[in-house]
Structure 1
Amino acid sequence: MQLAPTDVFKSLADDTRLRITLLIASADELCVCELTESLQTSQPKISRHLSLLRSTGLLLDRRQGQWVYYRLHPQLPVWVLNILQQTLAANQQWLADDLQRLQAMPRGPLNQPVCN
């Protein structure tokens, strides 16, 4: 997979898109409702940002019933993964509130989020 550095950095330059990407990197996979809850942002705004991240090639999605789950693209270049891992490791405090809200979400029998 080829990703131009300018495309990657433009995608991650927005606060919401960076938070989304780092939350997904920390959890492996998240659904839209988990992201709206953890970021305290409307579903249309989150979906718009997810669409851009997907079109850039940073994320992949999968549908499971009525939910759409997002994960990092498995073929991301190593340099992109390194940037995300280092940014996540160095900025845990910056994401602390988002991660706390994510972890506080109720879970169902298969550890699936209980979304409204």
Structure 2
Amino acid sequence: MRIGKVAELSGLSSRTIDYYTQIGLLEVQRSSSNYRLYPEDVLETLKRIKILKQQRMSMEEIKEVLQSDVSVDIEPIICDVQDEINCLQKKLSLLEEKLKNVPPEEKLKVYKRIEPKMTAIMTLLALL
């Protein structure tokens, strides 16, 4: 597939695709007339790059992921988990703020209620 077609189908500019190629995220071959030809799976790769960019990964980190054996199927799940972790961090900050002026024995009751779930979350974070 030529770069113009890839740009059209992916919604990205030719310049972005060219940049991804230059930094080694995409493989390209040259035709006899020197056109850049991309393999059919380039659109899937571009979707993966988009997901990884949404996770605020650097281009170097994205390159490492693309070169690893990590299954494409788990990337959306990882993205969801990271979104949940961010949400939990916000909620924990809010809880800490609300507990500032609460007596210690009341804080202990709250912490005992959330401790089992926090342990599970910490285990998950250790896996990541």
Instruction: Give the TM-score normalised by the residue count of structure 2.
Output: 0.29
Structure number with the bigger relative contact order (C-alpha 8 A, sep ≥ 6) is: 1
Question: Per residue, is there more helix in 1 or in 2?
Answer: 2
- Relative to the length of structure 1, the TM-score reads 0.31
